[in-house]
Structure 1
Amino acid sequence: MIDFWLAAGLLLLVALSFLLIPVLRERRAQREEDRTALNVALYQERVAELQSQQAEGVLDAAQMDSGRAEAARELLADTEGVAPARVSRLGKPLPLLAAVLVPVLGLGLYLHFGASDKVELTREFAQAPQSMEEMTQRLERAVAAQPDSAEGVYFLGRTYMAQDRPADAAKMFERAVNLAGRQPELLGQWAQAQYFADNKKWSDKVQALTDEALKADPKEVTSLGLLGIAAFEGERYQEAIDYWNRLLAQLPPQDKSREALQGGITRATEKLQASGGKVAQAPAAKAAALLKVRVDLASELKAKVQPGDSVFIFARATSGPPAPLAAKRLTVADLPVTVELSDADAMMPQLKLSNFPEVQLVARISRAGQPTAGEWVGRSGPLPSSTTAPQTLTIDSPDK
């Protein structure tokens, strides 16, 4: 902040110079005016002395005129080059008062409307924190400076959880939900913090939060893990196994938490078997959809397209959202071509081919590279998403 205040001080001196320089010039003019008045007084005194000498008979008329002329020449010589006095309409006190009020008013406005705290925070975050406590203090100041930042509030909540402060974390996640909306991840984090803040006591509030999170996203990992913990603590071991298996399916193979999660499933299995229960087999996963389609261009259109024109091949639900469920992009030069559309090509995780019973295949040529509009198109009829037989699609119609 030192360089900032130095720059501000320099600008303040420049501003004050516009106010003080006229005052200093006025003082110089005043000194010149005072010197002129003194010269006039000396002239008048010299003339009076000559008149006295003439009255006494010391000087005759010619000498009197000569002495008066000499005194006049000296007066003109002393006052030559002196500018006429300028009268300020503002007066002397006003510029001096402004010179005092400008920095005071500027400082007050900056402290009220400025962002010195945010500037300092930016400088701090440019350097790595030395400890978790220092990071927490930075985040707390950042949230105080930007109370409407959902991201800052969220990270502060995560930091509180890492410091075993679940009650404070729950408040931060609640604020984040109010700022960013009821997103599944935020709801899951809020539910987890609230559960530990209540000393691992399941409550209607926590249940409602996890239910809402999983309804919006059945794969929300924090809620799945929390429900598994609560079920294990409540000796509902089969539920714990089910929740943790669902969570395990969402974690990437290299995730370090898979080992701990698998250990929890093993312990729950052992306790279930020790109590005389039997582990229920998880329902078979729904087979992933895989559609094979051969796309070709009608012969009468080959002269009307360019090799570099984009070709979008996608499947969309016949009854459902208009967004493509799976899509691939090629060019006219690639035609004819056989492609595969599967759940791996899903545009969004919740919009997979296997989630919709019936789909339609579409191939579109777009010179502008826009998947939603083009020049030529080919469409199939409705077909089950579980179809395994290869399909054929010909681009032969104007895109309307």
Structure 2
Amino acid sequence: MILMLAVLLLPLALLLWKPVWYRAVDNQQGAATNLQLYRERSTELESSDLPEDEKAALQLELDREFLAQAEERAEIRTRDGRAYVLLTAVLIITLMSSVALYQLWGSAPELQATALLDKGEKVELTQGEREQLMSLLGHAAARNPKNLEWGYLNARLLSATGDYPAAIQAFQNILDVLPADATDDRAATMTLLAEARFYGSDQKADEPTYQLLKDALALQPNSRQALGLAGILAFELKHPQEAINHWKVLWQSLPDGPEAQMLAQGIQRAVSALQANGEKVDLSWMQRASLKLHVSISDEARQKVPADAPVFILARAVAGPPMPLAVKRVTVADLPLDVTLDDSMAMAPGMNISGFNEVVLVARVSLTGKPVASSGDWQIESAPVSNRETERQSLEISQLVP
């Protein structure tokens, strides 16, 4: 920044320095001319036929005139020196003022905050750097209220550091200005606001915070963060069936692992609360879906494709996104082969076989090496089957992709 300001101030420096520089040059040239003239007149006077007393008087007059001119030039040099000092002071003041104004009105805080955020992704920030980052984000958010990114970062950092009252206000400010059609952003902000309220009240559940989470889920039904917290609040507010409903969606989106096991414990607590009131609960949906397949390839197809060509075996939702719910990759040489597709083979969180009631099974020889069908590939696609199907499904790759 300093370098750029120096470049911008260079034309100003040249503009101010030019008259001072040329005046100094003119002064030096005038001094040399006067000296030459003094010497010539002194020589002429010395060689003249005037009486000695007149020569002496005229020479004295020449000396006085030369000394007067020398004193005048000395005074000009002094003024020029002062001009240089004044010019330098003006440039320094201009530079410092520019820096100060940039710090006040420019993007310096945002740039410093960005640098600290980038550094925080690589190494842990010191306590002083964290405090500086909080100050910079707060300043940027207050100065640019329409820039929601700074406000969001500021609110997240306030919540992460435990300043929940300030975080609640920051998230509320963002929610107040978010447009109604920004559903994903509004849902995420509602969830974070509810989380700040919950932890800011020493994890005490209340109906307004629970309603805020339900509003968020109405906009973004598969949000893991909102589902998990909504289940907790529903359970604490004595709504065990609602807690199970939230956690069911969350559980079906999770692969097997520690997180799913901890969630299962919470579900069992909610089930126990219902059973204590004499209610029956069906937990068959907690059984992980898995589909057994026998995959083979026709003689015609085998003759047309290389033995090392990849074969993609996948399950895709009948009613849902085109992304595969489970994928296994083998080669033509491995066929025929028995395969089991389950939730552990999901390509993305929440996109698994357990989350969709009906799926289509596909086996495809890909000549491009990609799971997407291309002309020249060979494949087979099953009719829709239940994600709870227990019988082994047979797939023979025999159809040429046009």
CA contact (8 A) 1:242 1:282 kept: no
**C-alpha distance in 1 between matches for 2:10 and 2:336:** 74
Find the residue that maps to 1:321 and give its secondary structure.
Answer: coil
Q: Specify the alignment match of 1:152 in structure 2.
A: 153
CA contact (8 A) 1:318 1:359 kept: yes
Question: Which among 139, 147, 163 is matched to residue 134 of structure 2?
Answer: 139
Q: Which amino acid aligns with 1:367?
A: L
Q: Do the aligned partners of residues 337 and 15 (structure 1) sit closer, same or farther apart at CA in structure 2, a change above 3 Å counting? A: farther
Once the two structures are superposed, residues 16-41 of structure 1 have per-residue CA deviations (whole angstroms, 9 ceiling, x without a partner) of 99779875586356324412222123
Once the two structures are superposed, the pairs formed by residues 87-166 of structure 1 within 5 Å of their partners are: 96=87, 99=91, 103=95, 106-107=98-99, 110-111=102-103, 112-115=105-108, 118-119=111-112, 122=115, 128-130=125-127, 135=130, 138-145=133-140, 148-149=149-150, 152-159=153-160, 162-163=162-163, 165=164
Q: Do the aligned partners of residues 228 and 387 (structure 1) sit closer, same or farther apart at CA in structure 2, a change above 3 Å counting? A: closer
Structure with max Cα Rg: 1
Q: Which amino acid aligns with 1:227?
A: A
Structure with the higher helix share, 1 or 2: 2
Q: Specify the alignment match of 1:388 in structure 2.
A: 390
Q: Which amino acid aligns with 1:313?
A: I
Q: CA deviation at 1:291?
A: 1.8
CA contact (8 A) 1:194 1:206 kept: no
Q: CA deviation at 1:43?
A: 0.6
Q: CA deviation at 1:51?
A: 3.7
Find the residue that maps to 1:341 and give its secondary structure.
Answer: strand
Q: Which amino acid aligns with 1:384?
A: V
Find the residue that maps to 1:394 and give its secondary structure.
Answer: strand
Once the two structures are superposed, residues 140-191 of structure 1 have per-residue CA deviations (whole angstroms, 9 ceiling, x without a partner) of 432433652466235224236x35x3x4332333456649934756433322
Question: Which among 181, 193, 196 is matched to residue 190 of structure 1?
Answer: 193
The TM-score with structure 2 as length reference comes to 0.64
Q: Which amino acid aligns with 1:358?
A: E
- 2:43 is the counterpart of 1:46: yes
Q: Which amino acid aligns with 2:320?
A: G
Q: Do the aligned partners of residues 139 and 291 (structure 1) sit closer, same or farther apart at CA in structure 2, a change above 3 Å counting? A: same
Q: CA deviation at 1:281?
A: 4.1
Find the residue that maps to 1:387 and give its secondary structure.
Answer: coil
Q: Which amino acid aligns with 2:168?
A: A
Q: Specify the alignment match of 1:212 in structure 2.
A: 216
Q: Do the aligned partners of residues 28 and 212 (structure 1) sit closer, same or farther apart at CA in structure 2, a change above 3 Å counting? A: closer
Larger displacement relative to structure 2 (182-191 or 322-331): 182-191
Q: Which amino acid aligns with 1:34?
A: A
Once the two structures are superposed, residues 35-78 of structure 1 have per-residue CA deviations (whole angstroms, 9 ceiling, x without a partner) of 2222123213422443444999x9xxxxxxxxxxxxxxxxxxxx
CA contact (8 A) 1:248 1:258 kept: no
Q: Specify the alignment match of 1:72 in structure 2.
A: none
Q: Do the aligned partners of residues 241 and 309 (structure 1) sit closer, same or farther apart at CA in structure 2, a change above 3 Å counting? A: closer
Find the residue that maps to 2:47 and give its secondary structure.
Answer: helix
Q: Do the aligned partners of residues 157 and 15 (structure 1) sit closer, same or farther apart at CA in structure 2, a change above 3 Å counting? A: same
Aligned length: 343
CA contact (8 A) 2:308 2:331 kept: yes
Q: Specify the alignment match of 2:171 in structure 1.
A: 173
**C-alpha distance in 1 between matches for 2:365 and 2:246:** 45
Once the two structures are superposed, residues 277-332 of structure 1 have per-residue CA deviations (whole angstroms, 9 ceiling, x without a partner) of 63534322224332222223333343543344332211223343322222222333
Q: Specify the alignment match of 2:78 in structure 1.
A: none
Q: CA deviation at 1:14?
A: 8.9
Q: Do the aligned partners of residues 347 and 187 (structure 1) sit closer, same or farther apart at CA in structure 2, a change above 3 Å counting? A: farther
**C-alpha distance in 2 between matches for 1:138 and 1:252:** 38
CA contact (8 A) 2:295 2:395 kept: yes
Runs of 5+ consecutive residues of structure 2 not aligned to the other structure: 56-82, 142-146
Q: Do the aligned partners of residues 196 and 48 (structure 1) sit closer, same or farther apart at CA in structure 2, a change above 3 Å counting? A: same
Q: Do the aligned partners of residues 395 and 122 (structure 1) sit closer, same or farther apart at CA in structure 2, a change above 3 Å counting? A: same
**C-alpha distance in 2 between matches for 1:121 and 1:245:** 37
Once the two structures are superposed, the pairs formed by residues 9-88 of structure 1 within 5 Å of their partners are: 27-28=24-25, 30-53=27-50
CA contact (8 A) 1:315 1:327 kept: yes
CA contact (8 A) 1:317 1:359 kept: yes
Runs of 5+ consecutive residues of structure 1 not aligned to the other structure: 59-91
Q: Do the aligned partners of residues 33 and 399 (structure 1) sit closer, same or farther apart at CA in structure 2, a change above 3 Å counting? A: farther
